[in-house]
A = this chain, B = another copy of it.
Amino acid sequence: MDAANFLVDYFSQYMTLSEEEVQLIRNENLIREYKKNDFLLKEGQIATVCFLVLKGCVKRYYLEDGEERIMEFYTENDPIAPVSYTTKEPSQYFLSCVEPCIISTGTEERTQLFLQKFPRFIPIFVKIGDSLAAKKQVFLDDFKNLSPENRYQKLVETRPDLINRVPQYMIASYLGIQPESLSRIRKRIRSNPK
């Protein structure tokens, strides 16, 4: 099983790759496997790379009074650009694997080199960036607008996979509520199936 294939798949979502490009991606990319609970980044560290999740699930969370505050789950084909990578300051949050993962790491320099070699990727890169930003805005808007119950319903609709692959107390943290509350919300929905 060739891990670099995942990366080829990622780009193939957006464009058709030539043989040469496929080879370059296979040869030049740093792809690593991680075990469950391995860290990609810890609080206090300065991130030196960005990530692309090829397989598995990563959580991003703050540690406050010993409590995890989960901000985001990254799964297949989700890129991760740590704030710390951009600011070059110590990270305020953690990145760790919820499952065994296969992850590609990248740096600005390597991306620049890649784009110089294959300029036809530039507009795609920009577009991906823009649409990620747009997606994020909509997501934040939803969070602000919806009650915890509706947030859960929305999550079930939009990312049903998460519900099954991630423990419930992490989902609760992600939704900004306590595990007990999520349990009650689920009960409420069960007994009141619209």
Name A's B-contacting residues (CB within 8 A): 62, 64, 69, 71, 81, 83, 86-87, 92-93, 129-131, 133-134, 136-138, 140-141, 143-145, 176
Contacts and interface: CB of A to CB of B under 8 A. Distances in A.
Contacts of A83: 134, 137-138
In the A-B complex, list the 6 residue pairs whose CB atoms are closest, starting with the nearest.
Answer: A83-B134, A86-B134, A86-B130, A140-B140, A144-B176, A71-B141
A133 B131 CA distance: 12
Contact of A141 (B62, B81, B141): B62
Nearest to A69: B145
A137 to B, nearest CB: 6
Contacts of A62: 141, 145
B86 A131 contact: yes
The DSSP consensus for interface residues of chain A is: helix
Given A143-B144, A144-B69, A136 B136 contact: yes
A176 B140 CA distance: 12
Contact of A81 (B86, B133, B176): B133
19 contacts: A62-B141, A62-B145, A64-B145, A69-B144, A71-B140, A71-B141, A81-B130, A86-B130, A86-B131, A86-B133, A87-B131, A93-B141, A129-B129, A133-B133, A133-B136, A136-B140, A140-B140, A143-B144, A144-B176
